[in-house]
Amino acid sequence: MKNKSKGYKYPSVSLFTGAFGLDLGLEKAGFEIKACVEKDDNCVKTIVANRPSLKDKVINKDINKVSVSEILGISGLKRGEVFLVSGGPPCQPFSTVGRRESISSKEGSLFHRFLEIVWGIYPQCFIFENVKGILSAAIQHKPLNLRGKDGKCLTKREKLGSGWDFINKQFAKVLRQGKKGGYRLAVWELDAVDFGAAQKRKRVFIVGIRTKCQLSKPIGTYVNRPRSLKDVIGRLDGKYEGPGKDYFPYDKIRSKIFSENLVRAGENWTFLPINLQKKVMGKGWYATGGKVGFCRRLSWHKPSPTITTNPTGRATNLCHPEKPRPLNYVECALLQGFPKSWKFEGSLSQKYKQIGNAVPVQLGTAIGKSILKSLEV
């Protein structure tokens, strides 16, 4: 492709924008957001609070009720003139934590709408994002306790990965993969910690371009030297310590555990006496499988586990290394790559939700730069 002048910003359209995490990263890579589609009112307020210039560029609607012509009209561009379309439909249907309703649910089927909009806008390239669990998603999820020991009772629709196979086939079909005027597709599994985030967070990206160029997968520069929790949140100087304002206080039993240092930095429930383990974990104590998140206290010297929408969750606890409280919303935002100046609108729970659902800023930058490098622009 022909090189643009220095400082040129590549026009982009953002779908399922959320709190603007992916888009912040893309901005750093050299893209300019020309239009956003986001149905959550608080997310829209967050976008506008930080990017006032986008006030009239945000379409605050359910994406199923938004037309391609409306998006192009807001962006001021025509079909084929948008350089990039990016977005990640809700990840809950594919997450391994939850009901895994997959593509059979209303939210899980939103990838269809993403594809329709991409083909309608016909950008030079696109980025589709979701959780790692999408790779093993079935078309129709069957709970573990109903599968049997050998899994032979699963139908084709219930087999692990059948949903992912279906999604891939739909991408290839709608976007005319390998055909004239169609897109070349690549699937990348990336971990934010490898790209400078002090957080282990694996995400899957389907990236497409409509040229014969070969897409180059981003290579992290922090693979052997991950940033630690202290590198990112160790200098907040006692700010954002308001219970109910900046974080949700623990229940009495966990407050006691962390206040009395019964679990120290880098430890979890396994360091408690058995009677206390059973008391704080309830039925979870008898469950099989991974339980590392129960009563977990983070270490200053390691990256954080995946930031969720609720750091006080019983099985996904994220306690501060020194203080008897969970990570506050500002700390979570910093670990997601947001600048300290980024404002989040809404209640405390809504702030946590926006942050926990975001794509780490560093991943957006890495993918954006990789696309531009692949296209030699």
Closest CA to 182 of 208, 207, 210: 210
Computed from CA positions of residues 285, 290, 293, 295, in that sequence, does the dihedral angle turn out positive or negative?
positive
Q: So what CATH class is 10-223+360-374?
A: alpha beta
pLDDT tens readout for residues 281-320: 999 898 877 799 999 999 999 999 999 999 999 999 999 9
| Residues 366, 368, 374, 377, CA torsion sign | negative
Residue 123 near residue 82, CB atoms below 8 Å:
yes
Rounded to whole angstroms, the Cα distance separating 129 from 123 reads 17
Per the CB < 8 A criterion, the answer to whether 100 and 121 are in contact is no
What is the predicted pLDDT for the residue at 94? 60
- Please report, for the chain, the start and end positions of each structural domain, with discontinuous segments joined by +: 10-223+360-374, 229-356
Catalytic site residue from 91, 125, 295, 319: 91
Tokens of 339: 């600048």
Collapsing DSSP to helix, strand or coil, 187 comes out as strand
> Could you give the CA distance from residue 172 to residue 208 in angstroms, rounded to a whole number?
10
Residue 279, token pair as written in the block: 């008391």
pLDDT (tens digit, 9 = 90+) per residue, 45-76?
999 999 999 999 999 999 999 999 999 999 99
Answer yes or no: 332 catalytic.
no
What's the average model confidence in pLDDT over 176-185?
91
Q: What share of the chain is helix, strand, coil (3-state, %, to 5)?
A: 35, 15, 50
- Is 75 in contact with 121 (CB distance < 8 Å)? no
User: DSSP string of 226-290?
Assistant: PPPHHHHHTT-TT-S--BTTTBPPPPHHHHHHHHTTSS-TT--GGGS-HHHHHHHHGGGGG--S-
Top CATH class of 229-356 equals: alpha beta
8 A C-beta contact, residue 80 and residue 72:
no
Mind listing the pLDDT tens digit for each residue in 339-360?
Answer: 999 999 999 999 999 999 999 9
Q: State residue 347's pLDDT score.
A: 98
Average pLDDT over residues 146-161: 69
The pLDDT confidence band at residue 155, using thresholds 50, 70 and 90, is confident
pTM: 0.92
